[in-house]
Structure 1
Amino acid sequence: MQEKIIILDFGSQFTQLIARRVRELNIYCEIYPFNHLPEFDPTVKGIILSGSPHSVRQDEPPHFDYQRFRDQYPILAVCYGAQYLAHFHGGEVQASSTREYGRANLQYIQPGNPLFKDVPSNSQVWMSHADTIVSLADDFEVIASTDTVRVAAYQVKNSKTYGIQFHPEVTHSIDGKQLLQNFLVDICGCVQEWTPDSFVETTIAALKEKLGDDKVVLGLSGGVDSSVAAVLLHHAIGKNLHCIFVDNGLLRKDEFQSVLDSYQHMGLNVKGVDAKQRFYDALNGLSDPELKRKAIGRVFIEVFDDEAHRIEDVKWLGQGTIYPDIIESVSVKGPSATIKSHHNVGGLPDFMKLKVVEPLNTLFKDEVRKVGRTLKIDENILGRHPFPGPGLAIRILGEVTPEKVQILQEADAIYINNLKSAGLYNKVWQAGTIFLPVQSVGVMGDERTYENVVCLRAVESLDGMTADWCHLPYDVLAKISNEIINNVKGINRVVYDISSKPPATIEWE
């Protein structure tokens, strides 16, 4: 059985980063909201408590039943987690006179403490908290301090519970990876064997056992996630996998045929379905992004249901759902606080008598690519930028029409082709063009124009949970803008998005 670490999320923006750092150490972990605890089976080796935007001093802070787990599992409490354990178990947390944010150095480290093995004195750490621990209970002891924070880290005596007020998961904490390794390997006893090879081996075996001789229908998009999911399923059940690629009228330029061509050499059983008009009809009159997503999801299900009925005795719907989809659809405040709905997350309607199989729903995007390389999938597929499930419908702000789709396809093709020719495509994590619901005045020749505006978006990211906008060269942006305005009728202005995630999302809708 795969051993794992449980990360309890109290709402910190850094929770996903903790998970990424754990997995970089080849140790499997899962994130759960603090108020939806999972079953703690024998595979659980330890618990990490995340930070939080909340304060332990507020009226109803997020609570964790520490006593229930203290003697069963090693616990690493980060920032809010550390303040919580200290405050509610005999210590005191107060508002700091000055916000403790940014770089600090550990002036004192308790000699021989296992959490700080191979962490040098004066190691730089990253602080990010407005509250601070001012006193500890008698059974807590300080194991690290900075010049301004006496309780930078503590240990509960005679236990494997540790609290730290800094963030080891961010790169500014220079020895944060070493500290996490100390906790995970030395204290929790984890074995660092969760690798792409081991994932492929265990997943294919699990799929064979789960699916048996059942038939699976899977929607291919040409992207990384669905392609890797398809190949994993193909290795498990072979000819019993039936792949469908739907032309929803919201794909990139010429994508339908190019995607079908790319799968010819992979041995997959793929059928192309032209359903453009069904999607356009469903989107007619809709401007709200959530309504558009739900309409697209509904029609996808209808199309798959139609196609599934053409396959005798199909039992399962395969999906390329990945872990960020799950995380963004479940928050610590419950479904009402989700960022956006995902078309491929959740159950199916009763009329569709298919069970769901999601072989990638525990992986981040970069992990999916590593698994794809283990499976020897073509790098042209693995290197493709992420593309939203609802396609260009959520890159057209407002109502979607075939005319807007065509304009956006042409502009986006110019953008992407220029990134490739400039050698920038593989340096960008995701790029796309957004059709804005505004028009602006322009001049072409001697004529006044009043036409549409598109926005170029390009971000750098590791897994999509956080992202920074790309500093593309001005000359490349100028060339792209000129080509779009000169060659795409209906556009007379191009702008560039310089927002990062958070606070902005990667897609505009």
Structure 2
Amino acid sequence: MERPDPADRPILVVDFGSQYVQLIARRVRERHAFARIVRHDLTAERARELNPMAIILSGGPSSVYEQGAPRCDPGLFELGVPILGICYGMQLACEALGGTVRPCPAGEYGRAELKVLDHSEDLFHAVPESTTVWMSHADQVHDAGPDFVTLATTSTCPLAAVRHKTRPVYGIQFHPEVAHTPYGALILGNFLDRICHSRGTWTMEAFIERSVVEIRERVGPSDRVVCGLSGGVDSAVAAALLAKALGPRVVCVFVDNGLLRAGERNAVAEAFGAHSNAELRVVDATEPFLRALDGVSDPQEKRIRIGHTFVDVFREEAKSIPGARFLAQGTLYPDVIESGGDRDGPAATIKHHHNVGGLPAELGFELIEPLRDLFKDEVRRLGLELGLPDSLVWRHPFPGPGLAVRCLGTINAERLEVLRQADSIFLDELRKAGLERQVAQAFAVLLPVQSVGVMGDGRTYENAIALRSVDTDDFMTADWSRLPHDLLARASTRIINSVKGINRVVYDVTSKPPGTIEWE
């Protein structure tokens, strides 16, 4: 019997501008159902073509009663599939089905005590009668109309959760997707398992089986695929998946641009080479990259020159690969969504990604993106499933331009080496403290300033290093890591004592927003 495709019947997450929309999709996938984010004006006809198992209407910053507020096609409610409205999504669903929405007498923000009125309802199965939920709304459903039943309430929100009497439509005013709602995962799980009857087929094992078949169907028997290894987990997992499908017809090209972390070239070559039957080529291009960056301090100009140089180096190497027709990229689902690269996804482009289009056209390749349906946490699980070592799968993210955007100001081999040593010491201290896996990303930044210091009995006027460590689930927002002071003290002492040219170390305590994770 043929196994069902886990992506055949997706959960459509309709995006109304919520900052949590990707988090909703990730929470659904954690319950082994395939979530797909779609734009708010997706037609009911197109939704029917996508054959969803269910639809989730996200939150959003608008008010449903305002002119121009985003709305969904009313035909979605006629599809007969279960629908869950969250916050704005609940207000929209209730208004579309006869209810009214008004501003709250006082907005409800932060934690609230939820009283569950009916535990016989599948949505709140095994949820305590009283529990904490996360609220964030200035409007709420004033009157749901005669067709809705109240399932839960708070002291300031009489209709905190509702169910339609005759349609499979549910609404919750709170946010189950955030960690501040302790039973949120259970509530979403109840919706998927008990109401949608999800079979839980979205697993990395099933994804591998499906992807191998698709890759083999697309890539001809004599075609070869070129995959650029960057040192990051995304490109390594993409290459490993392609190698599982195509074997030695995959050629991995690792370009050493002189902007890598300490020991990165050897570590990636050894780790990947030992776990793949793909061909691996390492190209030493340090000289052309440093030549292109000579005297450049503007971060955007750095990126442009690095990009152009990479194309030149990669193109030259690709010429020597017979039968090379495809270029593989480690594009992830957030990249596709944020760049407007999905036909049914949100139309607004949040930011452009270097790995969404562009390069294949310049090089004359067809593009293949085996990870474009996955979030970062899923990529890591996929890497482990494919047998890649923990040291590679759990590497901290590294920017495409490498140390060029962590070496502020002008770049040369000497300054890069100073930064490389300091960065290596910081990561080593994190590793020794058992915290490397606990933080999402950590690194050092070489600042373009010098400061006065005293070393021994002499005055110094040397460079400053900034240490940066952040905690985040999705890298769209992040908070600075509250690292132990003793760890920071050890890192600072080691850097100043062993890295020539450094006499001051500072720690970055800026969150994102208002800052960004990288300094440039």
TM-score by length of 1: 0.91
For 1:435, the equivalent position in structure 2 comes to: 446
Which residue of 113, 117, 121 corresponds with 1:109?
A: 117
| Mapping 1:277-288, distance limit 5 Å | 277-284=287-294, 286-288=296-298
Which residue of 306, 314, 334 corresponds with 2:316?
A: 306
SS of the counterpart of 1:425? coil
Which residue of 28, 41, 52 corresponds with 2:34?
A: 28
SS of the counterpart of 1:252? coil
| Mapping 1:474-493, distance limit 5 Å | 474-493=485-504
Quote the offset at 1:5 in angstroms.
0.9
Does the Cα contact within 8 Å between 2:360 and 2:367 map onto a contact in 1?
Answer: no
Does the Cα contact within 8 Å between 1:109 and 1:116 map onto a contact in 2?
Answer: no
For 2:56, the equivalent position in structure 1 comes to: 48
For 1:168, the equivalent position in structure 2 comes to: 176
- Pick closer, same or farther for the CA change 1:333–1:449 going to 2, 3 Å: farther
Write the distance in 1 (CA, Å) between the matches of 2:498 and 2:262. 15
Write the distance in 1 (CA, Å) between the matches of 2:173 and 2:120. 20
For 1:317, the equivalent position in structure 2 comes to: 327
Gaps of 5+ in 2: none
CA deviation profile, 1:331-376 (whole Å, cap 9, x unmatched): 95722x42xx332122436442101111112222222221122212
For 1:197, the equivalent position in structure 2 comes to: 205
Bigger mean CA deviation after superposition, 15-24 or 342-351: 342-351
Write the distance in 1 (CA, Å) between the matches of 2:302 and 2:86. 39
Bigger mean CA deviation after superposition, 419-428 or 150-159: 419-428
Q: Within the alignment, does 1:259 sit opposite 2:268 as a pair?
A: yes
CA deviation profile, 1:148-199 (whole Å, cap 9, x unmatched): 2111122334211222110111223232222212222232232112112111
Quote the offset at 1:283 in angstroms.
3.6
Does the Cα contact within 8 Å between 2:427 and 2:436 map onto a contact in 1?
Answer: yes
For 2:164, the equivalent position in structure 1 comes to: 156
Quote the offset at 1:29 in angstroms.
0.8
Write the distance in 2 (CA, Å) between the matches of 1:494 and 1:208. 51
For 1:238, the equivalent position in structure 2 comes to: 247
Q: Within the alignment, does 1:297 sit opposite 2:307 as a pair?
A: yes
The amino acid of 2:189's aligned partner reads Q
Bigger mean CA deviation after superposition, 68-77 or 155-164: 68-77
Q: Within the alignment, does 1:402 sit opposite 2:413 as a pair?
A: yes
Quote the offset at 1:76 in angstroms.
1.1
Write the distance in 2 (CA, Å) between the matches of 1:290 and 1:149. 48
For 1:334, the equivalent position in structure 2 comes to: 348
- Pick closer, same or farther for the CA change 1:47–1:279 going to 2, 3 Å: farther
- Pick closer, same or farther for the CA change 1:163–1:102 going to 2, 3 Å: same
Does the Cα contact within 8 Å between 1:343 and 1:390 map onto a contact in 2?
Answer: no
Does the Cα contact within 8 Å between 2:119 and 2:126 map onto a contact in 1?
Answer: no
Does the Cα contact within 8 Å between 1:412 and 1:432 map onto a contact in 2?
Answer: yes
Quote the offset at 1:329 in angstroms.
3.2
For 1:186, the equivalent position in structure 2 comes to: 194
Write the distance in 1 (CA, Å) between the matches of 2:150 and 2:75. 20
Which residue of 100, 106, 114 corresponds with 1:98?
A: 106
SS of the counterpart of 1:426? coil
Bigger mean CA deviation after superposition, 443-452 or 124-133: 443-452
- Pick closer, same or farther for the CA change 1:283–1:475 going to 2, 3 Å: same
The amino acid of 2:211's aligned partner reads T
CA deviation profile, 1:463-492 (whole Å, cap 9, x unmatched): 434433322221121111122122223322
- Pick closer, same or farther for the CA change 1:34–1:293 going to 2, 3 Å: farther
The amino acid of 1:215's aligned partner reads R
Q: Within the alignment, does 1:221 sit opposite 2:230 as a pair?
A: yes
SS of the counterpart of 1:53? coil
The amino acid of 2:28's aligned partner reads V
- Pick closer, same or farther for the CA change 1:295–1:184 going to 2, 3 Å: farther
Quote the offset at 1:292 in angstroms.
3.4
Does the Cα contact within 8 Å between 1:442 and 1:451 map onto a contact in 2?
Answer: yes
Does the Cα contact within 8 Å between 1:459 and 1:467 map onto a contact in 2?
Answer: yes
- Pick closer, same or farther for the CA change 1:402–1:62 going to 2, 3 Å: farther
Which residue of 15, 21, 24 corresponds with 1:9?
A: 15
For 2:518, the equivalent position in structure 1 comes to: 507
CA deviation profile, 1:239-290 (whole Å, cap 9, x unmatched): 1101110011110123223322333323331111112233334444554544
Q: Within the alignment, does 1:362 sit opposite 2:379 as a pair?
A: no
SS of the counterpart of 2:430? helix
Does the Cα contact within 8 Å between 1:247 and 1:275 map onto a contact in 2?
Answer: yes
- Pick closer, same or farther for the CA change 1:280–1:329 going to 2, 3 Å: farther
- Pick closer, same or farther for the CA change 1:332–1:293 going to 2, 3 Å: farther
SS of the counterpart of 1:125? strand
Does the Cα contact within 8 Å between 2:259 and 2:402 map onto a contact in 1?
Answer: yes
Aligned positions, number: 506
Does the Cα contact within 8 Å between 2:12 and 2:52 map onto a contact in 1?
Answer: yes
- Pick closer, same or farther for the CA change 1:83–1:461 going to 2, 3 Å: same
- Pick closer, same or farther for the CA change 1:120–1:407 going to 2, 3 Å: same
CA deviation profile, 1:42-98 (whole Å, cap 9, x unmatched): 542111111123333444322222334433432211111112333455433333232
TM-score by length of 2: 0.89
- Pick closer, same or farther for the CA change 1:131–1:286 going to 2, 3 Å: farther
Quote the offset at 1:37 in angstroms.
7.0
SS of the counterpart of 1:325? helix
SS of the counterpart of 1:123? strand
Write the distance in 2 (CA, Å) between the matches of 1:288 and 1:138. 62
Quote the offset at 1:36 in angstroms.
6.4
Does the Cα contact within 8 Å between 2:272 and 2:388 map onto a contact in 1?
Answer: no
Quote the offset at 1:22 in angstroms.
0.7
The amino acid of 2:348's aligned partner reads G
Does the Cα contact within 8 Å between 1:5 and 1:44 map onto a contact in 2?
Answer: yes
Write the distance in 2 (CA, Å) between the matches of 1:8 and 1:59. 20
The amino acid of 1:229's aligned partner reads A
Write the distance in 2 (CA, Å) between the matches of 1:440 and 1:36. 57
Q: Within the alignment, does 1:457 sit opposite 2:439 as a pair?
A: no
The amino acid of 1:418's aligned partner reads E
Write the distance in 1 (CA, Å) between the matches of 2:149 and 2:514. 37
Quote the offset at 1:212 in angstroms.
3.0
The amino acid of 1:146's aligned partner reads T
Gaps of 5+ in 1: none
SS of the counterpart of 1:459? strand
